[in-house]
Chain A
Amino acid sequence: MREPAQIRMLPDGRRLHLHDGPIDLIIEADGPRRAVEQAYKAAATRFVTILDELCAELPLLRAPVFPNSPRPSSPIARRMYDAVLQYATSGVGVRHAGPHVRTLSPWHRHSCLCSPELGATPSPFERGLFITPMAAVAGAVAEAVLQEMTQAADLPRAYVNNGGDIAIHLAPDQSFTVGMVERPESPSLFGSATITAESGIRGIATSGWRGRSFSLGIADAVTVLASTAAEADAAATIIANAVNLPGHPAITRVPANQIAPDSDLLDLHVTRDVGPLSPREIRQALNSGLRVAETLRDKGLILSAALCLQGQVVVTVQDRRGSELQLRLETLCERGASAPEEMLCQPKERIHA
């Protein structure tokens, strides 16, 4: 039976929790009480129909995007499509991916895939990239809800966190600090970042093989900062896929349909376990991911990215627009219980209901 969408305040009395099927949004807005109330009301009103809208077009959203492929009709589906279209059109390079390479359903278990040979290091600009709108679903939903909020009220700061894909709103001179978590089930921050209004960052997304979505790569976490949440979402998946060591014996890959029977990825292999790797192997895998991340940054698709694998972290070099991931690993180690990070970015958020 269809369960209705749920709307409630979290026990802290500050954050709004919206839940419908696989969508879980944690929302927080700063500002005068009245403005926050208006924003939350707008978010909830918009939210309740989102899942049905998306599911009405689900087959299309799970199908690969090519230049001139049919564009979905609902606004969030269009955001998704537009965010991934850049990877599938000229200028970003396309190569035919082969008919058996499809998206991974249901829902979050999508992936965007590259060349048909599994395990090959995906490199979107040389080998062609295969992607479906589902690669941006979480970010697109977060963005759409945030937009309703900022249109309904004048807010200095707000965010919508959709299971680790976060859309943020910052009025001039405002900023957020975010902490980055490498593994959802294991406690450690691998870095933190301060995001200022001036940075142009409005979307944050984290992808990794331990997360809710399947990954072809072995990254514990790739956190991407981009201009929109939908773009960050798609890019995080692509970069996380590129952190890889094809054919390495310590990596367990399992046919997707053994895990999710209705996966149209069929028996393509997704990462299920990564054994201990040597420091050199870790660097090698991270570097292949970093190359993709820097290409995406040069193309203007992301602002920066941090990639984490088995305790090692690499970060894209700061770009001219001044966005930065200020890694503060030493201070994080020393700090006690109360980390000041306002949000945690991790492959999947644990929701304290």
Chain B
Amino acid sequence: MAEVLPPDTVRCDACPVLCYIKKGHSGACDRYANVDNQLVRVDPHLLLDRAKSQGAPLVPFLEREQEWDGQLLKGRETFVTAIGAGTTYPDYKPAPFIVSSEVDGVDLVTVVTEGIFSYCGVKLKIDTDRHLGPERNLVRAQGEPVGHITTAEYGSQMLSIGGVHHLTGGTKSEGRVTCETLLDLCNGKEVALTIDDGASITVAANQQPVVNGQREERMRVGCGSAAIGMFAKQWFGKVDEVVVVDDHITGVLSEHQAGKMLGVRETGIAIQGRRSTPGRYFQVAQPGTGWGGTNISDPLAILRPFKAKLAWPNLRLLMVSTTGEHCAYYELDESLRPVEKDLPSALQESVARIRENCEPALTTVLFMAGAGGSLRAGVTENPVKLTNSVKQSLTRVTCGGAPAYIWPGGGITFMVDVARMPENAFGYVPTPALVAPIEFTLKQSDYAALGGHIDYIRPLAEVLREKDRQRQFTSLPANPWPLKSSPDRGEP
């Protein structure tokens, strides 16, 4: 007789405890979970499965049992990731998994380990023009310093979080909170951060950033001057003056080269701030979270009175931010003072165009770490040879199957986009330090040449037989296949 279950509940029959598991929760063992009302095994060791069709990343375990029926394995390629592989650190022992497989007639070896990284951190690129705080100021989580604001990039604010000095160089609490913050950011969780003399933000990998409670939808199309250049033609004839408000460079149509080219008449407009070149103004206001990354909420605050000699009554003025998120339309009255009016429909279109041209604002998280001595010793008895082999691109480095960029110069310092890695790929140790998966793939002959632990190589099929310890998931479409000799795409 079929049992009637409460809604959104599955009953697990993997062991005699027979847990009822609600949607979104796991059973008493924490190994089986209810994901969208399907019983799913959530074991630690992940195998990256290159399926032809891109399915759900978690495979329901009953179906998996069928898939694991040896024969089906031949038709598909599997890459053993380091997630959940464990580590032999700090012992100078061979890595937990050294797996051989044949790809296109070449014998490859993948050395699979979880690295414990004391030297590690994340770089956050936050697509916003809003002022998050002065460069070099501290970034805090739960009140503890965990990083700082670093050099801004085009349309984005950059934070550097973590690193050895916050992890182990400060107080115990600073180290703990830093590790927790890194772990959450790397595992795609939301993190609340505050910046000294700056904003409060909530960020998560590949999600829209929230700045002072406001969700950032778009990144700016360009600076104010660039926006004038891009849209001058579309404004010409529909409006007499356009000011694109931007904390970096505010653009003014009638003075800008693009406006001059079109023959836009001088308007007698006068802008606060420091003029750079004609039609381009720096520092029209203070940085902030208002219009175009300034601190203003009323755009007229950046205007001085119009010059009476040049301006005229009924002059039409559009003020807009670099994302099109803010806009206002004015006409001058008899005494040449701007009076706000409804935005004419012809201009609504151009504002919408600015918005359309803005890419979605995201926070992106790059994990950056250095693979140190003992980790390399798990790969070879002669660690520097591994470094050299990576430098010569004979050895490919991946993190949970995602491609890693190797920073030139000494050591193996790598960067990886955490969004390209499987969920919950990171762990920690109480040192505090982060645990991240790392895989080195190279030709078996090269592996032998660099003094690899040849005796510990196990064929892929043997590793796959330990299926009770493994979770299979589908490779992300954006990632090159880790075992392919020429990457499908370039490295990030």
Give the contacts of B439-474 with A (CB-CB under 8 A).
468-469
Q: Chain A: which residue is nearest B374 at the CB level?
A: A337
Chain B interface extent, by class: 35 or more
Q: Mark B1-36, 1 if CB is under 8 A from A, else 0.
A: 000001001000111111111100101111000000
Contact, CB under 8 Å: A261 / B9 = yes
Contact, CB under 8 Å: A11 / B13 = no
Contact, CB under 8 Å: A109 / B15 = no
In-complex Cβ contact of B468 among A6, A12, A108, A348 (8 A) = A6
Residues of B within 8 A of A91 (CB): none
Q: Is A34 an interface residue (CB 8 A)?
A: no
Given contacts A185-B180, A311-B173, A106 and B19 within 8 Å (CB-CB)? yes
Residues of B within 8 A of A118 (CB): none
Instruction: For the complex, give the distance between the alpha carbons of A2 and B86 in Å.
Output: 27
Q: Chain B: which residue is nearest A350 at the CB level?
A: B427
Instruction: For the complex, give the distance between the alpha carbons of A305 and B419 in Å.
Output: 42
Give the contacts of A1-47 with B (CB-CB under 8 A).
1-3, 6, 8, 10-12, 20-22, 24
In-complex Cβ contact of A352 among B6, B17, B84, B431 (8 A) = B84
Instruction: For the complex, give the distance between the alpha carbons of A189 and B474 in Å.
Output: 37
Q: For residue A169, give the distance in angstroms from its CB to the closest CB of chain B.
A: 24
Given contacts A1-B14, A51-B15, A261 and B20 within 8 Å (CB-CB)? yes
Q: Mark A156-200, 1 if CB is under 8 A from B, else 0.
A: 000000000000000000000001010001111100000000000
Which stretch from B88-96, B202-210, B247-255, B280-288 is at the chain A interface? B88-96
Contact, CB under 8 Å: B84 / A353 = yes
Given contacts A2-B15, A107-B19, A353-B44, A11 and B88 within 8 Å (CB-CB)? yes
Q: Mark A245-259, 1 if CB is under 8 A from B, else 0.
A: 000000000000011
Instruction: For the complex, give the distance between the alpha carbons of A333 and B116 in Å.
Output: 18
**A interface SS class:** loop
Q: Is A52 an interface residue (CB 8 A)?
A: yes
**B interface SS class:** loop
Contact, CB under 8 Å: A20 / B15 = yes
Residues of A within 8 A of B19 (CB): 106-107, 260, 262
Total of A-B residue pairs, C-beta within 8 Å? 129
Instruction: For the complex, give the distance between the alpha carbons of A350 and B16 in Å.
Output: 23
Given contacts A11-B86, A260-B25, A353-B84, A187 and B430 within 8 Å (CB-CB)? yes
Contact, CB under 8 Å: B28 / A188 = no
Instruction: For the complex, give the distance between the alpha carbons of A332 and B430 in Å.
Output: 10
Residues of B within 8 A of A261 (CB): 6, 9, 20-22
Contact, CB under 8 Å: A106 / B17 = yes
Instruction: For the complex, give the distance between the alpha carbons of A309 and B480 in Å.
Output: 46
Q: Is B159 an interface residue (CB 8 A)?
A: no
Q: Is B429 an interface residue (CB 8 A)?
A: yes
Instruction: For the complex, give the distance between the alpha carbons of A339 and B18 in Å.
Output: 39
Q: Is B145 an interface residue (CB 8 A)?
A: no
Give the contacts of B183-228 with A (CB-CB under 8 A).
183
In-complex Cβ contact of A21 among B20, B29, B90, B118 (8 A) = B29
Instruction: For the complex, give the distance between the alpha carbons of A121 and B118 in Å.
Output: 41
Residues of B within 8 A of A97 (CB): none
Q: Is B175 an interface residue (CB 8 A)?
A: yes
Instruction: For the complex, give the distance between the alpha carbons of A51 and B18 in Å.
Output: 12
Q: Is A343 an interface residue (CB 8 A)?
A: no
Instruction: For the complex, give the distance between the alpha carbons of A338 and B20 in Å.
Output: 41
Q: For residue A39, give the distance in angstroms from its CB to the closest CB of chain B.
A: 22
Give the contacts of B418-432 with A (CB-CB under 8 A).
427-432
Q: Is B171 an interface residue (CB 8 A)?
A: yes
Given contacts A106-B17, A261-B9, A186 and B176 within 8 Å (CB-CB)? yes
Contact, CB under 8 Å: A22 / B84 = no
Q: Chain B: which residue is nearest A24 at the CB level?
A: B29
Given contacts A12-B88, A21-B14, A212-B30, A351 and B431 within 8 Å (CB-CB)? no
Q: Is A344 an interface residue (CB 8 A)?
A: yes
Give the contacts of A93-117 with B (CB-CB under 8 A).
106-109
Q: For residue B174, give the distance in angstroms from its CB to the closest CB of chain A.
A: 10
Instruction: For the complex, give the distance between the alpha carbons of A179 and B468 in Å.
Output: 30
Q: For residue B259, give the distance in angstroms from its CB to the closest CB of chain A.
A: 54
Contact, CB under 8 Å: A187 / B14 = no
Given contacts A188-B172, A353-B86, A106 and B430 within 8 Å (CB-CB)? no
Q: Is B114 an interface residue (CB 8 A)?
A: yes
Contact, CB under 8 Å: A3 / B171 = no
Contact, CB under 8 Å: A188 / B176 = yes
Given contacts A22-B27, A333-B172, A353-B44, A10 and B86 within 8 Å (CB-CB)? yes
Q: Is B168 an interface residue (CB 8 A)?
A: yes
Residues of A within 8 A of B90 (CB): 337-338
Instruction: For the complex, give the distance between the alpha carbons of A332 and B84 in Å.
Output: 27
In-complex Cβ contact of A11 among B30, B96, B172 (8 A) = B96
Contact, CB under 8 Å: A106 / B176 = no
Pairs across A and B, CB under 8 Å, 7 listed: A3-B468, A11-B86, A11-B96, A259-B25, A311-B173, A352-B84, A353-B84
Q: Which residues of A contact B (CB under 8 A)?
A: 1-3, 6, 8, 10-12, 20-22, 24, 51-52, 55, 58, 106-109, 179, 181, 185-189, 212, 258-262, 311, 329, 332-333, 336-339, 344, 348, 350-353
Q: Which residues of B contact A (CB under 8 A)?
A: 6, 9, 13-22, 25, 27-30, 43-45, 84-88, 90-91, 93, 96, 114, 116, 118, 168, 171-173, 175-176, 179-180, 183, 427-433, 468-469
Report the 7 A-B pairs with minimum CB-CB distance, sorted nearest first: A21-B15, A187-B432, A107-B28, A55-B16, A352-B86, A262-B20, A22-B28
Given A106-B20, A187-B428, A353-B86, output 4 extra A-B contacts at Cβ < 8 Å: A11-B86, A22-B29, A261-B22, A353-B84
